[in-house]
Amino acid sequence: MNRKENIKKVKRLVIKLGTSTLTYDNGLLNYSRIEQLVRNIADISNRGIEVTLVSSGAIAAGFGKMGFTEKPKNLPDKQASAAIGQVALLHIYQKLFLEYNKTIGQILLNSEDMSNRKRFLNAKNTFLSLFQHKIIPIINENDAVVVEEIKVGDNDSLSAMVSSLIEADLLIILSDIDGLYTDNPRKNINAKLIEVVPEINDKVLALANGEGTNLGTGGMDTKLKAGKIVNSYGADMIIANGSSENVLIDIMNGKNIGTIFLGRDKKISNKKNWISYTSSGEIIIDTGASIAIKNRKSLLASGIKDVRSEFDKGDSVKIIDECNNIVGYGIINYSSYEVNIIKGHNSNQIERLIGHSDYEEVIHANNLVII
């Protein structure tokens, strides 16, 4: 793998800045580091690369202004801190980016914006319009009002979802660690940095050790899960230390900094990537249906044995065989309530059972992703 050649191909980039990169240990913003990162991002944008910034730091910036000495633990204080901190953070970004003749736009997302296909496409169109007008989107979760049911939870996962949404070529996650090590470097001085990870498998996932800082929400495990998402559709991910001077410029110049996680050789379509990573329910199918799906056939009601969890028509669902193996994912044509009624029956009985028959297939072959 030639890292410099991989970097040269990058046309669309997502950069995730962790809380520990943007703040001091006391929770207050590190203005000098933010200014340097903004200068780096502006320079990368001037190269013709479409850059999206996923920024943590809102709660940390806010709780410092509220007089707390550490990240609040109860939800109202967290949300109040986010409300204050988001304003402060965006004001700083706007002021600094304007110095480099760059315009920014803010987008607040949650998991429903990704799981709902219509909202997903609307969000994507917003990004494309911003790119067309040379505007740098700055993304965060709406921490001031979001509830647990629709919360992404950490900005590592959010950055991966955004990368998937806009079909980025590279995700860079900057944190307070140099990359992935053979062991936890904070506990083992003999731990070695791994420069290249061809595939995030169980062995690699086992290397994730420990939590994030007292300011952040994500440790190495959340970063590796983010890597699995972006790698699966064909993009690379790099984890590097955000405190290193000009780290973003060095990365984009092809220097061996941090750990690079390589994407699959062939990119899958944005639609199929969405289907794979936004599943909201599960259905169990019989052996015959499993064979049919693997042969690129549609899933019919007759092949469904059971339904797990609730979902609506148009949701993406996980398809599981009788041995509890994941067969694939697909966009469902009926709700979980309706599937429970029509399961095991022939397609010509659907209208009699539920009063309508919009589709012969429960999941059409064109809306399937096969594992």
DSSP string, 4-65: HHHHHT--EEEEEE-HHHHB-TTS-B-HHHHHHHHHHHHHHHHTT-EEEEEE--HHHHHHHH
Binding residues for substrate: 56, 143, 155
Domains of the chain, start order:
3-271 (3.40.1160.10), 279-370 (2.30.130.10)
- pLDDT of 218-273, one tens digit each? 488 889 999 988 998 889 999 999 998 999 999 999 999 999 999 877 667 667 77
214: pLDDT strictly greater than 50: no
Highest-scoring range by mean pLDDT, 75-89, 90-104, 206-220:
90-104
Report the chain's mean pLDDT, rounded to a whole number. Answer: 87
Single pTM value for the model: 0.79
Binding residues: 16, 56, 143, 155, 175-176, 217-223
Taking residues 13-36, report their average pLDDT: 88
pLDDT confidence of residue 152: 56
Number of other residues whose CB lies within 10 A of the CB of residue 264? 12
pLDDT confidence of residue 184: 80
The percent of residues above 90 in pLDDT, for the chain, comes to 50
126 three-class SS: helix
pLDDT confidence of residue 211: 45
Highest-scoring range by mean pLDDT, 55-64, 96-105, 137-146, 314-323:
96-105
pLDDT confidence of residue 144: 54
Of 125, 127, 151, 121, the residue nearest 139 (C-alpha): 127
Choose between 236 and 279: higher pLDDT.
236
Binding residues for ATP: 16, 175-176, 217-223
